[in-house]
Amino acid sequence: MTISHNNPKQINYEGSLMPQVEMLSIGNNNKKLKIGLPKEENKYENRIMLTPFAVKQLIDEGHNILMESGAGEKSNWSDADYTSVGAKIASKSDVYKSEIVAKVSPFSENEISLLGTNQTIFSALHVNTQSENSIRKLLSKKVTAIAIENIKDKNGFAPFVESMSEISGILSISTASEYLSNAKGGKGIVLGGITGIPPAKVVILGASKSGEYAARAAIALGAQVKIFDKSIEKLQKIKSKLGFSIYTSVLQKDAVAKNIKSADVVIGAIDFSGNDEGFVVAESDIAKMKKGAVIIDLNIDNFSCFATSHLTNLGNPTFVKHGVTHYCVPNIASRASRTASLALSNALFTILLNISENSSGIYFAVNDAALRNGTYIYMGILTNKQLAKKFNLDYKDIDLLTAIF
């Protein structure tokens, strides 16, 4: 199958084949893939990488899909939903020995031990949560490991990040609203203003995709929204999209400190892949925030922009520091697991088809710039500078490395 990549439209509703792209004739020489979908060991991860709709088309193309029983349950797809379209329920061991293994949360040490060798694995990387031991174990397996959040094409489009950021941005506002309410021990206020009462103040750090969608959701509820970013270009674009009802400002420490002092909600949504890396709100500034205010840290899986943040999970998502509620869950999109799974499947489905069309098999990263960007281990060699620096490990630039093959 050949896919036209000229601005493909994505359909995010159920019952359809996810990517709406031009489909041409099927070639007989396409590589047939064996794809494993394990059940997440992380009990707070509710998403799955492929929906039954995508699985059906992959199987129709001749690919084999092995699933661990219950893998789709938390997104409300049963084993029968998958087996009815041709997927096979297999043992955990067999699923992890598949040529390609795709899961959402980073591979745990136990999951890594189940892998064979020379496989290709897809998952989130979450640099902030990684351990040196896990990375060393992956290296010993000689796998090609691809971080879905780092997959980005030459135009800067990152399909997994874009879709999860949209969901995370929207959920950040609904979550903040929950924690401002009495039901979650908040002050008992609503985000939107009502007659005679001013609206709540929402400060968003970062005009990223998640920042944009957080702003959209907050504006829709009637909140007063202020967005900060170092990039004037980003601020101009978001102002153009959302209108003059929002306040924008350059990301400067004094300006941020002044504004968060009176904020009811502060969202951390800085795009650390750009020029905003290193901006952190000092603990002394957070200590001056209103008691009962809420921080939603959407950057916690990368580099947090709040000095007081630390990782939490969906089972115990918040903590209070200086009277401010902190919500620091790295997989907030998992709260809307079915929608998120549909979006993840959109992106992975297309990638898998591209891999099957590439006769070079495991060397496909040589020819695919987007996958090269996402590859942090290539055939057992570390290619991610960030991880190498964090754990003092040797690494090779993937562009130079793949030139050898």
Q: Say yes or no to pLDDT of 131 above 50.
A: yes
At 245, list the tokens.
Answer: 């009802």
Q: Say yes or no to pLDDT of 4 above 50.
A: no
Please name which of 289, 308, 294 lies closest in space to residue 187, comparing C-alpha atoms. Answer: 294
Average pLDDT over residues 187-216: 92
Q: Which of the four CATH numbers 3.40.50.720, 3.40.50.10860, 3.90.960.10, 3.40.50.150 does domain 9-157+337-402 have?
A: 3.40.50.720
Coarse DSSP helix, strand, coil percentages of the chain, rounded to the nearest 5 percent: 40, 20, 45
CB 232 within 8 Å of CB 274: no
CA distance 244 to 238: 10
CATH topology match: 9-157+337-402 vs 164-330: yes
Question: Per-residue DSSP letters for 80-144?
Answer: HHHHTTT-EEE-HHHHHTSSEEE-SSPPPHHHHHH--SS-EEEE---GGG--HHHHHHHHHTT-E
**Strand extents, DSSP E, 148-292:** 201-205, 224-229, 247-250, 265-268
CB 347 within 8 Å of CB 23: no
pTM recorded for the entire structure: 0.86
Q: Count CB atoms within 10 A of the CB of residue 56.
A: 19
Domain ranges (residues) in the chain: 9-157+337-402, 164-330
Q: What are phi and psi of 116, to 5 degrees?
A: -85, -135
Active site residues: 126
CATH topology of domain 164-330: Rossmann fold (3.40.50)
Q: Say yes or no to pLDDT of 69 above 60.
A: yes
Name the DSSP letter for residue 59: H
CA R_g for the chain: 22
- Looking at residue 405, its pLDDT comes to 58
- Looking at residue 16, its pLDDT comes to 41
Give whole-number Cα distances, 196 to 192, 193, 199, in Å. 12, 8, 10
